[in-house]
A and B are shown apart, each in its own frame.
Chain A
Amino acid sequence: MPTPLVVSDVAKSFTMHLRDGVTLPVVAGVSFSIRAGECAVLGGPSGAGKSSILKMLYGNYAVNEGQIIVQHAGGLIDLAAANPRTVLAVRRQTIGYVSQFLRTVPRVSALDVVAEPLVERGETREAAREKARTLLAQLNLPEKLWALPPATFSGGEQQRVNIARGFITEHPILLLDEPTASLDAKNRDVVVELIAAKKAAGVALLGIFHDLDVRDAVADRVIDVTTFAAGKIAA
């Protein structure tokens, strides 16, 4: 099985310059890899650093130490040391991300928010919209909402737009930050199906799920983040 994502010895801390430069250690010695077609889940209590790890893997947080090796464009790159242009190319082509909250852009319709990542990858706008309609219908988002900007949607509606946006492309790696947190049971099941389809298609998935039913339904294994507690290593 190919291994599109290898994380080795990654450490992250925050230096708070407004608090006299105090350093908050987050995680250290983070090492794992994800194979194609598997879904690994980051486990551990709130504050253990699960979201920070996902954000480093997406280039959204800087990495203090270690390497994040990603199979990208036919080669291997270290995302922890990559320049912004490379990170953007990796996001476009290789790593997808479903964030916890949707960051909305004024005046862009839900349909186009969902279609956008496909358009960025070179799909025509109409083909991208067609696929977006299919996904939004699958996620039971009422059709009357599709043409509206999601800023005024409910939490669950926004999350479904976010999920559709994350799942519309064929990125070989997909990061999921609590994608089911504000969904009802019916839509949680849809997300479980979508994840199963990604696995079958050979996508490497890494997620955070607080919902135990969803977690049990999708996880091939759990990576215990408490073993990466920064204090432990430092002590």
Chain B
Amino acid sequence: MTDEPLLRVSALSKFYGSRVGCENVTFDLWPGEVLAVVGESGSGKTTLLNCLSARLLPSSGTASYRMRDGQLRELYRMSEAERRFLMRTDWGFVHQNPADGLRMTVSAGANVGERLMAVGDRHYGKIRATAVDWLSRVEIDEDRIDDEPRAFSGGMRQRLQIARNLVTGPRLVFMDEPTGGLDVSVQARLLDLLRGLVTDLGLAAVVVTHDLAVARLLSQRMMVMKDGRVVESGLTDRVLDDPRAPYTQLLVSSILQV
């Protein structure tokens, strides 16, 4: 375990004209740590995620990422090519809608293999073997490898998207409502799978969700956002069991008990 943060975010703000996307967000993320960002629609959590993953440039503030050589580099000062290289190799991005993260008209195996080719793998047999291995890790039968994701169920598509993201051995994964829109039984399976993969691979992750149960299961730390600002942050179980900000208390008290 290293004692250096993987990602340092300082006073990050994004404005859309005069409207606030997110404002003055500061945090550090360490290797192997999962941070949940919770809040309702429009709270700025997706804007924050898009800024962090450099898909969107912030209006002000900085975010620095520790590269594999140990150097801390400012994300928004990198060239577009450097950022895209990070995105293809060291990072993953799991979208809520698998169609945004997959190529729907090429085979499942190619979806996984494509990321490997992007980092320089050229040996067809090796790529296919790795793809098979990853499909089995996300519980997709080997005999589906040549099918297109169009023919997959929602839960399978999401698992395929996860395999596509993790195959290059990223160190940081961004997830936007990874279980949104799935049936609860499919959700439980996916959460359990994600939890196992994150632990086994020692991944750091930023997970955006409006589901506090997902945050509880996946993350060690969480930030609660409202109107673009972080209203409370801390250990996940502390925030959920002893919420202090008025808005967090409202969120926690609104959970339906089963």
Contact = CB atoms under 8 A, between A and B. Distances in A.
A59 B235 CA distance: 8
Contacts of A17: 245-246, 249-250
Given A105-B217, A107-B189, A108-B192, A60 B249 contact: no
Contact of A18 (B191, B221, B249): B249
Given A105-B192, A108-B192, A16 B249 contact: yes
B195 interface: yes
Interface stretch (A83-91, A137-145, A162-170, A224-232): A83-91
Interface string A78-102: 0000001101100000000000000
A105 B195 contact: yes
A210 to B, nearest CB: 21
B30 interface: yes
A61 B242 contact: yes
A110 B254 CA distance: 31
A15 interface: yes
Contacts of B129: none
Query: In this complex, which of A17, A60, A108 has the most chain B Cβ atoms within 10 angstroms of its Cβ?
Result: A17
B42 interface: no
A199 interface: no
Contacts, number: 49
B55 interface: no
Contact of B235 (A84, A105, A107, A108): A84
B244 A18 contact: no
Contacts of A107: 188-189, 192
A35 interface: no
Interface residues of B, number: 22
A106 B192 contact: yes
A18 B189 CA distance: 35
Contacts of A18: 246, 249-250, 253
A88 B235 contact: yes
A61 B241 contact: yes
Contacts of A15: 244
A85 B31 CA distance: 11
Query: In this complex, which of A14, A18, A84, A87 has the most chain B Cβ atoms within 10 angstroms of its Cβ?
Result: A84
Contacts of A61: 238, 241-242
A18 B254 CA distance: 11
A85 B249 contact: no
B94 to A, nearest CB: 19
Contacts of B220: 84, 88
A16 B253 CA distance: 11
A171 interface: no
A131 interface: no
A16 B41 CA distance: 24
B189 A106 contact: yes
Contacts of B148: none
Interface string B216-258: 0100110000000000001101100110111001100100000
Contacts of A85: 30, 33
A84 B189 contact: no
A77 interface: no
Interface of B: 30, 33, 188-189, 191-192, 195, 217, 220-221, 234-235, 237-238, 241-242, 244-246, 249-250, 253
Interface of A: 14-18, 55, 59-62, 84-85, 87-88, 105-108
Ranked nearest first, the 7 interchain pairs of A and B with the lowest CB-CB distance are A17-B246, A106-B188, A84-B235, A107-B192, A61-B242, A106-B192, A84-B221
